[in-house]
Structure 1
């Protein structure tokens, strides 16, 4: 009897589980199923049957179903990836459905026989099937799978973002107004969700694809466009296209809300990071185009708190500044323009000033190394036309240096926030940071006197080189500068401007003197107070006797007017208006005194040698030759022989420059002594000490001379200089043959 029951059981087992014979379930009645279940239970074969069924399912998955699934990815290249993946999913789902019938039958058997042994750790045997499917699939992962699935979802994503295309042609099947491809796509995702394969199979591919798509969309939309804010439109685009598309994919998923929420958080974070990085990489251009780029700065300001990119911003911007700004190929004025734009832009991004301080520190150091920085700053402050520094000057704020304290403002204590710890430690306390641009430029050097002295020199140049100088404009600038630097700092400049007004009055008074009238050469002088003006450039020049006579007559008139005061003439400074009448033309020129003196001597004699004229004018031959070159360029003088010059009154039409107009001198040299000349003059006061040392000690090294000067000559003196400056000074004396340098020692020539 027992033997018959076992045979009956095996017949019924094969009928309800034909997979044991490598086939799938056939139709069986409910009575047949319950009868088989009863026999299996009586024979205690439930566990055996379950193990046999699971083993057969695993074998079928490993040897048949999964290899067939991966085989679809080896199909010919002319088949679109979209259809490859659809075919693979349909085939897998068909096999999965058959296995699901087996699992359902096994689950019924377990329920009838009250059998609750877990399968692969799962009490729900449907989950066990999904686990077996998933583990077997990824154990046989095919290399071409990632590429196919990426193309599959990329084409599907293009379906969602059809608004970005000019035509409504389907990117998959190339038909107009196609709705079938999207239906197929959604069905395929529904099957993956049912098999619990959507996440494991597609999450990484979806993430990579969407990241790429976001990046491309941002790059395409905001490339080199800084005058529009995009962050809000990007957020709307993310919701309208990407998130909506993901909701369609996960619509049948039991965890759709959680999946979408996770994706939404991750994608928004990526959107902010990507957009912020792109804008940071463009930040140097954004700064240069300020204030037109204010919208882009606003986006960066919004995104920075949502990202961890402040250090990235500092690094990238410092690199851009170093490679694109801080080199010899960029003029100092352009560096200053970029610096001012950086101050305003970074102050907008970070009102605390910490970011500004860190970024601009290399610019400070570089500006300090350029000799013309102060002059460029002062020139920009007082030049006509739209100018950032001139606008700052008009605001009238006081220049504050590091030693001055900026008082804290208690009015906004409710909105006060502590300084960010993201930046490098600041050397300047928050109470001493100035947001004023001119103050920051002054703080580069830490001295207002340096800027005031440069303005004084610049003002002197303008007053001396432009006899029709607009004193009212200069007074207006001076008043604005006094608001910045203080009255005491600019007192000398007030005297200089007063000298200009007084000079006009004195000139008019002397010219009305009967003893001075009817002069052959009319002159107009600028009389300056020597102790208030910067040092003048010193050059030797002996004027023509006619001019010297005129100067003596003017001096007598001045002494008569001023009593105990007299005039010390600077023969090499000034402008001479000449009218030169030739046989074929007339020239009207404004030239320097040395050029005028040359022509006056050629008026006396048509032929001069370079040495004779040099001795007569007391001008070095090399300098004189350069000055004569000016008249050669106008065709008036020719060098007939070596160092012999002739006046040429008749010239061909090709050599004639524009007639009867004022031609400015091509040399626009400063009338004031350079900073190096002034420094040499200061050092010259110690030359007698150095000569005395060498007379007593014969030979001395550079270090010894410097040490002895510090001990004796520099005590109580306001002039200081380092050993490098001393070496430059002594080497100059060597070139002038006043010293001999040998074996590292200096000595006097015998």
Structure 2
């Protein structure tokens, strides 16, 4: 009995000697003889598993009570990056040194496990060292302090900055002679090499302890994200004419990923030295960083997309980059929302001229078509622009003016292409075009408009804002009439060229009236030449040269003025002579003058000056009356000229600005024979007189034309009681829009017309059906 107790006491003494961790200290070393005796005893009593569990439990307790608190004690919050660098390095070094002291014990445990010589349920494939590292990770992370990322961030931020600036030492010699861009120290005290060495050594120790990913993974990700975002902003901010995506991808590969490989390999620059598991982890990390790069670049480009559109096509490289990024990120909805907000804030308000809005709209059409050929983004983004343009009265005139502009412009270039107009009438196209190349709409497309969406040219897109080409044709007629009436000769070459281009776009029938208008100018030139060559007309010597533009009234747009100007007798007599000569030439035809239209060349002689000026007949009549009497009241002139006083006062202001007339008292004007001040032409008034149109506006003309449909609509609803708008539109196309010169009406315009009738209580809308109110 005494021998057994003695042997047991020796066994526990040897166990504590071989595994000093049981006593809470790991500095002691045992001899090989002591370890061999202990192994013999353990195998004899078959307690291998128990001994391993006891030792590992004591190791875990020791790490929890001594190693982990010592390690985390150095993770203090500090704003000094240099101190943070040193604290993290010191913490890792001490941890590594403390855990390295367990290696002899771990080797002995592994030897025991491999040579236990007994049957057991424990899997021999479990590595003691792996189990130890798992305990270390679990124990350390269970005591994680709140501010542990502070010094980790300082450590890797300094190391990353040194790595990024390691190749820039020769770029700026003057600065580098003073201060190192990597460690921010004077060149004499440069610590870059030392930092790189300590960086690799620290990473190597963390990799060996399998703590790198768990301890610094989040900090690395956050640090790299910040670096990527700053680099993208610095590289691409407000630079649209150069593609940046390829250079950013190269930077990510050569700088960021190269640095990450060095982090995870402990200093090597290639992935060959890494295990398959680590290599796969780096590849997955690269995919995430690439996605973050594309997402960051997309967000920056979306913020600047309004400027990119305005500068298109110079900004096409930026659009190309954004197109690639949109395919790799889910940012289409963000793009639509941000761009619509920018358009409403910077474009769609009273402070922007209509031509500028149209120009921006054209740029948006071109840029967004290039960005998304399906037209879905264009449809979603430009809907507010179309609604706003419809609310401005001068939109159509601005578009037509741009079409006929002789100087280089987007719309003039589009008109020269001569493509046919593609109208969106709200119905599906029965013919399937290129069905083999058909592609489904993107997921964010409006399914209700899928059959209506067509890839049309710019002019067709602008026409579709109103849903009908009639408004544009009428505006062109009005503009053509103004141009023909304002010129002082019969030259029509430029107008004929524009008309031929428009006929290719809008069709022959739509522009038949315009052809007649140009023919009137040609006929007027011929008739005027015949009248002036007539001997009977020349015998009655004309007091001043007279020429006439003879118009076919039913083909020209209606005139704005509803009053008839009474010309001075000397002028009227000359016009009567011209009429008699025309009647002699044409036989059964006569002329009805429009005295407020045309141009008059005046030569005015005063006491101290002489003026040669071209004015309207109204202006000429006013100044001619002052030739008979030096002083006139506004009311007297209005009665003599048969003109409204309000219109006459505005016309007299022109001569006041010239210094020929002076208002001595309210509505009393006196001729100024001598100039009392330097006479200068008032630019504002002249521009107002020059741009004032003699024709009724296109919108007024269109409103009058749409009234033609009203009788048809009333007849339909009287017979059929109620109809949906689609049925009304089809019946109008069948009965009211046939024949040459017939008025057409698109579905959107018809809806606006019917809705206005509803507001005027001439129609009732029930559901989607229109009907007449009961009388």
TM-score grouping bracket, smaller chain normalisation: 0.7 to 0.9
2:102 aligned counterpart, secondary structure: helix
Question: 1:298: which partner in 2?
Answer: 320
C-alpha contact 1:16 1:25 (8 A) present in aligned 2: no
Question: 2:371: which partner in 1?
Answer: 349
Question: 2:564: which partner in 1?
Answer: 540
C-alpha contact 1:608 1:646 (8 A) present in aligned 2: yes
1:612 paired with 2:615, answer no
Cα distance in 1, alignment partners of residues 353 and 430 from structure 2: 33
In the superposition, relative to structure 1, how do residues 287 and 118 fare at CA in structure 2: closer, same or farther (>3 Å)? farther
Candidates 410, 414, 419, aligned match of 1:397 = 419
C-alpha contact 1:17 1:25 (8 A) present in aligned 2: no
1:149 paired with 2:152, answer yes
**CA shift digits 1:547-599 (9 cap, x unpaired):** 11111111111111111111111111112121211111112222221111111
Question: 2:183: which partner in 1?
Answer: 172
Cα distance in 2, alignment partners of residues 75 and 339 from structure 1: 54
Question: 2:718: which partner in 1?
Answer: none
**CA shift digits 1:346-366 (9 cap, x unpaired):** 222232333333333333333
- Shift in Å at residue 406 of structure 1? 8.6
**CA shift digits 1:115-138 (9 cap, x unpaired):** 797999993222222122112212
In the superposition, relative to structure 1, how do residues 726 and 362 fare at CA in structure 2: closer, same or farther (>3 Å)? closer
1:520 aligned counterpart, secondary structure: coil
Question: 2:83: which partner in 1?
Answer: 80
**CA shift digits 1:150-188 (9 cap, x unpaired):** 222122122221146755626337354832211111111
How many pairs were matched up? 696
In the superposition, relative to structure 1, how do residues 514 and 726 fare at CA in structure 2: closer, same or farther (>3 Å)? farther
Candidates 225, 229, 236, aligned match of 1:222 = 236
C-alpha contact 2:471 2:698 (8 A) present in aligned 1: no
2:652 aligned counterpart, secondary structure: helix
Cα distance in 1, alignment partners of residues 578 and 119 from structure 2: 127
In the superposition, relative to structure 1, how do residues 399 and 75 fare at CA in structure 2: closer, same or farther (>3 Å)? closer
Equivalent residues in 2 for 1:256-405 (5 A)?
A: 256-403=278-425, 405=429
Cα distance in 2, alignment partners of residues 568 and 310 from structure 1: 62
1:50 paired with 2:52, answer yes
Candidates 620, 623, 627, aligned match of 1:596 = 620
Question: 1:673: which partner in 2?
Answer: 696
Candidates 17, 20, 28, aligned match of 2:19 = 17
Cα distance in 1, alignment partners of residues 64 and 708 from structure 2: 100
C-alpha contact 1:680 1:729 (8 A) present in aligned 2: no
Question: 1:445: which partner in 2?
Answer: 466
C-alpha contact 2:240 2:316 (8 A) present in aligned 1: yes
In the superposition, relative to structure 1, how do residues 399 and 52 fare at CA in structure 2: closer, same or farther (>3 Å)? same
- State the TM-score, normalizing by the size of structure 1: 0.86
C-alpha contact 2:654 2:686 (8 A) present in aligned 1: no
In the superposition, relative to structure 1, how do residues 121 and 221 fare at CA in structure 2: closer, same or farther (>3 Å)? farther
Question: 1:140: which partner in 2?
Answer: 143
C-alpha contact 2:658 2:681 (8 A) present in aligned 1: no
- Shift in Å at residue 43 of structure 1? 4.7
Equivalent residues in 2 for 1:51-70 (5 A)?
A: 51-70=53-72
Question: 1:524: which partner in 2?
Answer: 547
Cα distance in 2, alignment partners of residues 139 and 666 from structure 1: 86
In the superposition, relative to structure 1, how do residues 101 and 116 fare at CA in structure 2: closer, same or farther (>3 Å)? farther
Cα distance in 1, alignment partners of residues 613 and 760 from structure 2: 40
Greater mean deviation of Cα atoms: 214-223 or 441-450: 441-450
Question: 2:680: which partner in 1?
Answer: 657
In the superposition, relative to structure 1, how do residues 597 and 677 fare at CA in structure 2: closer, same or farther (>3 Å)? farther
- Shift in Å at residue 238 of structure 1? 1.2
Question: 2:133: which partner in 1?
Answer: 130
Cα distance in 2, alignment partners of residues 453 and 436 from structure 1: 21
In the superposition, relative to structure 1, how do residues 216 and 390 fare at CA in structure 2: closer, same or farther (>3 Å)? same
Greater mean deviation of Cα atoms: 675-684 or 261-270: 675-684
Cα distance in 2, alignment partners of residues 628 and 137 from structure 1: 95
Question: 2:114: which partner in 1?
Answer: 111
1:367 aligned counterpart, secondary structure: helix
In the superposition, relative to structure 1, how do residues 379 and 339 fare at CA in structure 2: closer, same or farther (>3 Å)? same
C-alpha contact 2:423 2:463 (8 A) present in aligned 1: yes
Equivalent residues in 2 for 1:560-571 (5 A)?
A: 560-571=584-595
2:553 aligned counterpart, secondary structure: coil
- Shift in Å at residue 273 of structure 1? 2.3
Cα distance in 1, alignment partners of residues 354 and 152 from structure 2: 56
- Shift in Å at residue 327 of structure 1? 2.9
1:516 aligned counterpart, secondary structure: helix
1:250 aligned counterpart, secondary structure: helix
1:195 paired with 2:209, answer yes
In the superposition, relative to structure 1, how do residues 646 and 531 fare at CA in structure 2: closer, same or farther (>3 Å)? same
Question: 2:7: which partner in 1?
Answer: 5
Question: 1:512: which partner in 2?
Answer: 533
**CA shift digits 1:25-83 (9 cap, x unpaired):** 42322111111222344455545543443333222222221111111122765443222
Equivalent residues in 2 for 1:461-480 (5 A)?
A: 461-468=482-489, 470-480=491-501
- Shift in Å at residue 722 of structure 1? 6.1
2:192 aligned counterpart, secondary structure: coil
Question: 2:582: which partner in 1?
Answer: 558
Cα distance in 1, alignment partners of residues 707 and 622 from structure 2: 32
Greater mean deviation of Cα atoms: 164-173 or 357-366: 164-173
C-alpha contact 1:592 1:665 (8 A) present in aligned 2: no
Question: 1:419: which partner in 2?
Answer: 441
Greater mean deviation of Cα atoms: 357-366 or 530-539: 357-366
- Shift in Å at residue 226 of structure 1? 1.2
C-alpha RMSD over aligned residues: 3.2
- State the TM-score, normalizing by the size of structure 2: 0.83
Candidates 193, 200, 207, aligned match of 1:186 = 200
